[in-house]
């Protein structure tokens, strides 16, 4: 069998390109990253007949080959470089009926690259309502291509597209425009300098201002040889090119495309006036947000509890079934617990992406961006930062992933850097237990102190994010290349298949990518917690029994094993580590036990509670008992360890500290460098430490 | 000279022939071309950004960019 045909799908955003990709490939998709950058690379397999297989490349959505964002430049890079392994045999440009004219701009550019180009006109189901008539044969001849009229919503036309693709050799690869029309003298000059390279490719290489990947390096050796025109002159030439392209398009559409202007889609205007209204717009937005968090917190707590129980009992089962030994412990307490720590996030992530993809598919998300942009701008954020910041209240991991829609790198980076300040659900167990310990139950103006403190902590997280953003905005010296522009797509009911595939793919990508790192670190923490080099660790059992006998205690088996695990933990590597860092955490009001909990909770914040439970030998009992035991804990002078000062200090520490290795992993992945997660870890830890220090020292 | 900022909600106008050379090419590609009709659909709270219908495309841009597009009223 010959190697598969390479088909690239390209098109403007909101043309339903992904729907067509999904229709062609179903779940036979692979989502990865382009090497070196974090732009999603989606490929899928498709066959058109017994002996014609194809690999479909879903290139990032772009309005033109004149790129302004990372996503867009990927498309140009692949299409310009014949030696690229992903260089397509045939390109399918996806357009849609309503904005056909604008979509064709990209089509003419692709054709000018000398590639075999097919045109798909999607959303044909809307033609009647919009009063649009299309004469396919006439357009095929005026645009010099083959056209498939398609509706991904009704699943029609896909077979036509496949038929055209299987006959791909007959498709024209002639350019639409003569690019030298922009400036004859200029292109003449280029031709004499570089006779072997195509004029339009040179032109693209010269005018692309791609910050991230200098594509011209691959195409032409030295860019300076062409810089005979100033930047402003080049920009003017690009303007002229655009005018020429639209002239060509208007001409080509004259015969084959008719639009009855009286049939404007009135409902869209009404919806827009409601959703972007100065008062109702915000009201609707907050109702949607509220529903979303309700779902994420409440609904996902059931599957999360089930997952938690499942892994706990799996761990128990392994310990009970397999012969006891280091390998069994590693499996039960390291690996199974580690996998559990990954899987437990799945419900929240799936719910979050379910909502986000419905809001995006329907076209509503652009309205939120529109409403919020001006409010976010002074902080160096954009309207597009709102979704990640809100998502951060569930979990920073999907929130960091959601920043991909921000095309301005500086705004995206700032958003990533401040997102972990928003109060994620993992902080909640820590907050709840400390608040229960140190905040009295009284009421102020009818509101409980405890509830007020909790609300205050949520506000504090959001405030910290915004202030940090403002500071980073001044401090980061990154050129802002793109400007804010967002298309407001028409409102459409979301397509179930697209939503389902998005949820599936995003969740899978989290489990596989971040999961690897969480699992590895869990194993490390397990190892450090269950091994030690001191004699006390090795002879733990004997020493504990001796202690108990000395104190004359009569303990049940359960209590004895809890006592033993607590003693072992104290003398394990992690226990030793806790003792070593005690001088560092002492000024914050923590003893070595809290120190250990701070270290172990680096795996995930909620581990703090579990670790304290282990250390205080409380084990599997209810949390109120943990609280009870913690309240009794005293220092050498007999004063309680958990008092108002140390409690507030812990709350502030957890409010600000990065304290989550999964977030570090995902930031590493999204920024593609260790630099940003390390800076983030550094400044957040510093802020956490200082504020905890100040709080403790003033309150004590 | 008048520019996009001077439109009132619902008001239509035609984009003038002279194009500011600082105008991002992307906006022209989205229909901000001389001779095309543009209509202001909505202004966000706090007066920014602005939401236009231009040559059938619905786009939202910030004031600083909108001020670069001049109009024939």
Q: Which residue of A has its CA nearest to B19?
A: A239
Residues 6 or more apart whose CB falls under 8 angstroms from that of A618 comprise: A562, A625, A626, A629
- 89-118 of A, contacting B, C-beta below 8 A: 98-99, 101-102, 105
**Residues A45 and A136: beta-carbon distance below 8 Å:** no
Task: Test A375 with B21 for CB contact under 8 angstroms.
Answer: no
CB interface of A with B, residues 158-197, below 8 Å: none
Interface probe, candidates A233, A260, A483, chain B, greatest B C-beta count within 10 A = A483
Question: Residue A569 and residue A588: Cα distance in Å, rounded?
Answer: 22
H/E element, A68:
none
Tell me whether residues A488 and B46 touch, CB distance under 8 A: no
Measure in Å the smallest separation between the Cα of A219 and chain B Cα atoms.
Answer: 23
Confirm whether the ipTM is greater than 0.85: yes
The answer to whether A603 and A522 are in contact (CB under 8 A) is yes
The residue of chain B nearest to residue A239, with distances taken between CA atoms, is B25
Residues B62, A489: C-beta atoms closer than 8 Å = no
**H or E segment to which residue B40 belongs:** strand B37-43
Cβ separation A485–B21 shorter than 8 A: no
Selection from A212, A214, A39, A37 nearest residue A672 by Cα: A37
User: In sequence order, what are the beta bridge partners of A49?
Assistant: A52
Which residues in chain B are contacts of A235 at CB distance < 8 A?
21-22, 25
Reduce the DSSP state of residue B39 to 3 states and report it: strand
- A444 sits in which H/E element: strand A443-444
Q: Which residues of B touch A (CB under 8 A)?
A: 19, 21-31, 33-34, 41-42, 44-49, 51, 55-62, 64-65
Question: Are A562 and A619 in contact, with CB atoms under 8 Å apart?
Answer: yes
| Element of type H or E holding A30 | strand A29-33
Contact A63 B26 (CB under 8 A): yes
For chain B, domains (ranges, CATH) are 4-72 (2.30.30.90)
Asked if B48 lies within 8 A of A377 by C-beta distance, the reply is yes
Strands A443-444 and A447-448: antiparallel
Buried b vs exposed e over A365-392: b needs ≥16 C-beta within 10 Å?
bbbbbbbbbbbbbebbbbbbbbbbbbbb
Q: Which string of b and e fits A544-580 if b means at least 16 CB within 10 Å?
A: beeebeeeeeeeeeeebebbbbbbbbbbbbbbbbbbe
Give the per-residue pLDDT at A147: 95
Q: Classify the phi-psi angles of A310: left when phi > 0, otherwise alpha if psi is within -120 to 50, otherwise beta.
A: alpha
C-beta atoms of B31 and A490 within 8 A: no
- Helix or strand or coil: residue A89? coil
Q: What is the pLDDT of residues B8-41, one digit of tens each?
A: 999 999 999 888 888 888 889 898 999 999 999 9
Q: Which long-range contacts (CB under 8 A, 24 or more apart) does A567-570 make?
A: A567/A536, A567/A540, A567/A543, A568/A530, A568/A532, A568/A537, A568/A540, A569/A529, A569/A596, A569/A614, A569/A615, A570/A615
- Flag if A102 and B31 touch (Cβ within 8 Å): yes
Which parts of chain A have pLDDT scores under 70? 1-2, 28, 30-40, 69-71, 209-228, 263-265, 293, 296-297, 407, 479-482, 513-514, 517-518, 521, 613-627, 636
pLDDT in tens, B43-71: 998 888 999 999 888 999 989 889 999 99
DSSP strand pairing (A5-11 vs A90-96): parallel
Predicted local confidence at residue A36, as pLDDT: 46
Burial class (CB in 10 A: 0-12, 13-18, 19+), A324: exposed
Using CB atoms, which residue from B25, B58, B59 is nearest to A238?
B25
- What local confidence, expressed as pLDDT, does residue A70 receive? 66
User: Are A54 and A689 within 8 A, CB to CB?
Assistant: no
User: Nearest 5°: CA angle at A455, between A452 and A457?
Assistant: 110
Å from B59 to nearest chain A CA? 4
**How many CA atoms lie less than 13 Å away from A373 in the CB half-sphere?**
23
Record the pTM: 0.77
User: Which string of b and e fits A524-537 if b means at least 16 CB within 10 Å?
Assistant: ebbbbbbebeeebb
Q: Count CB atoms within 10 A of the CB of residue A505.
A: 18
Q: What gap in Å lies between CA A21 and CA A426, rounded to an integer?
A: 36
d(CA A270, CA A494): 19
Say yes or no: A254 contacts chain B, CB-CB below 8 A: no
- Phi and psi of A336, rounded to 5°? -65, -45
Sequence-separated (6 or more) residues with CB below 8 Å from residue A579: A592, A595
What pLDDT is recorded for position A624?
46
Query: DSSP letters along A98-129, please?
Result: TTHHHHHHHHHHHHHTT--EEEEEE-GGGHHH
How many whole angstroms separate alpha carbon A358 and alpha carbon A39? 22
According to CATH, the topology of domain A1-261 is: Rossmann fold (3.40.50)
**In this predicted model, what pLDDT tens digit does every residue of A251-277 receive, in sequence order?**
999 988 988 777 666 788 889 989 999
* Partner residue opposite A272 with nearest CB, options B28, B34, B42: B42
**Which residues make up the CATH 3.40.50.300 domain(s) of chain A?**
1-261
């Amino acid at each position: 069998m010959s190697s598969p045909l390479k088909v690239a799908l390209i098109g403007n955003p909101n043309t339903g390109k992904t729907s067509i990709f999904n229709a062609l490939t179903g779940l036979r998709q692979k989502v990865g990253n382009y090497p070196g950058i974090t732009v999603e690379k989606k490929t899928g397999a498709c066959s058109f007949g017994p002996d014609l297989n194809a690999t479909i490349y879903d290139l990032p959505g772009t309005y033109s080959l004149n790129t302004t964002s990372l996503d867009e430049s990927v498309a140009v890079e692949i299409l310009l470089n014949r030696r690229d392994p992903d260089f397509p045999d045939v390109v399918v440009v996806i357009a849609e009926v309503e904005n056909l004219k604008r979509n064709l701009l990209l089509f003419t550019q692709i054709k000018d690259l000398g590639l075999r180009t097919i045109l798909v006109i999607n959303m044909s189901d809307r033609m009647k309502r919009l009063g649009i008539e299309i004469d396919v044969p006439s357009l095929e001849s005026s645009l010099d291509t083959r056209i498939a009229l398609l509706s991904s919503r009704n699943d029609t036309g896909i077979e036509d597209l496949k038929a055209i693709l299987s006959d791909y050799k007959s498709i024209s690869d002639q350019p639409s425009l003569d690019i030298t029309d922009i400036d004859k003298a200029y292109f003449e000059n280029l031709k004499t300098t570089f006779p072997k390279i195509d004029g339009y490719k040179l032109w693209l290489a010269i005018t692309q201002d791609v910050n991230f990947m200098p594509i011209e390096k691959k195409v032409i050796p030295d860019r300076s040889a062409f810089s005979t025109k100033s930047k402003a002159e080049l920009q003017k030439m690009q303007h002229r090119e655009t005018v020429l392209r639209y002239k060509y398009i208007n001409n080509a559409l004259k015969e084959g495309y008719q639009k009855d202007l009286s049939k404007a889609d009135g409902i869209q205007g009404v919806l827009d006036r409601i959703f972007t209204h100065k008062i109702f717009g915000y009201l609707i937005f907050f109702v949607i947000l509220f529903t979303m968090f309700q779902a994420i917190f409440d609904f996902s707590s059931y599957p999360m509890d089930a997952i938690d129980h499942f892994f706990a009992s799996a761990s128990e089962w392994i310990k009970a079934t397999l012969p006891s030994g280091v390998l069994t412990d590693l499996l039960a307490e390291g690996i199974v617990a580690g996998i559990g720590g990954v899987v437990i996030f799945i419900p929240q992530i799936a719910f979050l992406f379910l909502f986000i993809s419905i809001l995006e598919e329907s076209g509503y998300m652009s309205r939120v961006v529109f409403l919020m942009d001006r409010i976010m701008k002074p902080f160096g954020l954009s309207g597009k930062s709102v979704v990640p910041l809100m998502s951060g209240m569930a979990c920073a991991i999907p929130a960091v992933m959601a920043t991909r829609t921000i095309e301005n790198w500086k705004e995206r980076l700032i958003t990533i850097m401040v997102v972990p300040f928003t109060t994620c659900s993992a902080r909640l167990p820590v907050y709840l237990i400390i608040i229960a310990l140190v905040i009295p139950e009284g009421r102020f103006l009818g509101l409980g102190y405890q509830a007020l403190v909790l609300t205050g902590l949520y506000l504090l997280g959001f405030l910290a994010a915004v202030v940090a953003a403002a500071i980073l905005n001044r401090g980061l010296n990154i050129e802002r290349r793109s400007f804010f522009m967002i298309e407001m797509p028409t409102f459409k009911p979301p397509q179930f298949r697209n939503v389902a595939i998005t949820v599936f793919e995003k969740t899978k990508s989290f489990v596989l990518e971040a999961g690897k790192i969480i699992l590895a670190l869990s194993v490390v923490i397990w190892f450090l917690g269950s091994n030690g080099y001191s004699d006390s660790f090795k002879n733990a059992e004997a020493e504990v029994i001796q202690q108990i006998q000395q104190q004359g205690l009569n303990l049940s088996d359960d209590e004895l094993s809890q006592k033993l695990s607590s003693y072992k933990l104290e003398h394990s590597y992690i226990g030793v580590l806790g003792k070593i860092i005690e001088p560092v955490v002492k000024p914050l009001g923590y003893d070595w036990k809290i120190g250990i909990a701070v270290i172990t909770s680096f795996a995930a914040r909620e581990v703090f509670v579990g670790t304290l439970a282990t250390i205080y030998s409380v084990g599997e009992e209810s949390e109120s008992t943990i609280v009870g035991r913690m309240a009794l804990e005293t220092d050498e002078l007999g004063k309680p360890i958990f008092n108002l000062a140390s409690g507030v200090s812990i709350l502030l520490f957890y409010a600000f500290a990065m304290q989550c290795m999964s977030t570090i992993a995902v930031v590493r992945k999204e920024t593609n460098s260790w630099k940003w997660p390390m800076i983030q870890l550094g400044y957040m830890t510093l802020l956490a430490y200082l504020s905890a220090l100040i709080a403790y020292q003033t309150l004590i | 000279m008048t520019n996009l900022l001077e439109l009132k909600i619902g008001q239509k106008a035609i984009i003038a022939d002279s194009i500011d050379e600082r105008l991002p090419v992307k906006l022209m590609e989205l229909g901000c071309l001389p001779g095309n009709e543009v209509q202001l659909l909505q202004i966000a709270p706090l007066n920014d950004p602005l939401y236009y219908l231009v040559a059938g495309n619905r786009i939202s841009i910030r004031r600083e960019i909108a001020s670069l597009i001049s109009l024939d009223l």
